[in-house]
Amino acid sequence: MLTTTAMTPDAARAQQPALIELLRDAVESGASIGFLVPFNPALAEKFWADMIADVAARRRVLLAAYDDGILVGTAQLALAERENSLHRAEVQKVLVHTRARRRGIALMLMQALETAAHESGRTLLVLDTCAGSDAEYLYQRCGYTAAGRIPNYALFPDGALCTTVLYYKQLDATNGSR
């Protein structure tokens, strides 16, 4: 059975090897998500430790998707902290393991992120993604609006430059999606 849940810091620490595996799988399958090949597990470990510290400080929501108890996906909401931006959050690191893709898991995670945003009083979601990526199709399917493109913004894992597209979605203040 597929389920999604917000991870506590303890739950995330317990799942850290599986979270690192999700990053490795995404990077080695070519996703531009901040890491290069050859994949460096030490950098990934530091990355998740930083994310878990943010969850503990309530600056970030970390979601997990499980298939019969096995971690198969994750997604994050970084909560803007400035006093003029408390209505906003950034969607980050939506990852579904290659062996679990095209089963609607990312859609479940995106819906759960909207619920988490609503619970945190956030009505504007923003994100950036690589142009032409599977993720870009996902965000379009979820109703995000493209705000613009930035050429040569980031690198693919193999070092090639990629164009990034900025997206946003305005949520209904009372009940999630508008």
Ligand X SMILES: CC(C)(COP(=O)(O)OP(=O)(O)OC[C@H]1O[C@@H](n2cnc3c(N)ncnc32)[C@H](O)[C@@H]1OP(=O)(O)O)[C@@H](O)C(=O)NCCC(=O)NCCS
Give the footprint of ligand X on this chain (CB under 6 A): 26, 31, 33, 94-96, 101-107, 129, 133-135, 137-138, 141
Cβ atoms of 55 and 8 within 8 Å: the answer is yes
Residue nearer to ligand X on the CB measure, 104 or 121:
104
Question: In angstroms, what is the minimal distance from the CB of 103 to ligand X?
Answer: 5
Question: CA-based angle 153:157:158, to the nearest 5?
Answer: 100
Residue nearer to ligand X on the CB measure, 7 or 96:
96
Residue nearer to ligand X on the CB measure, 4 or 123:
4
Over its C-alpha atoms, the chain yields an Rg (Å, rounded) of 15
Distance CA 27, CA 5 (A): 24
Residue nearer to ligand X on the CB measure, 36 or 86:
36
Cβ atoms of 169 and 113 within 8 Å: the answer is no
Question: In angstroms, what is the minimal distance from the CB of 141 to ligand X?
Answer: 4
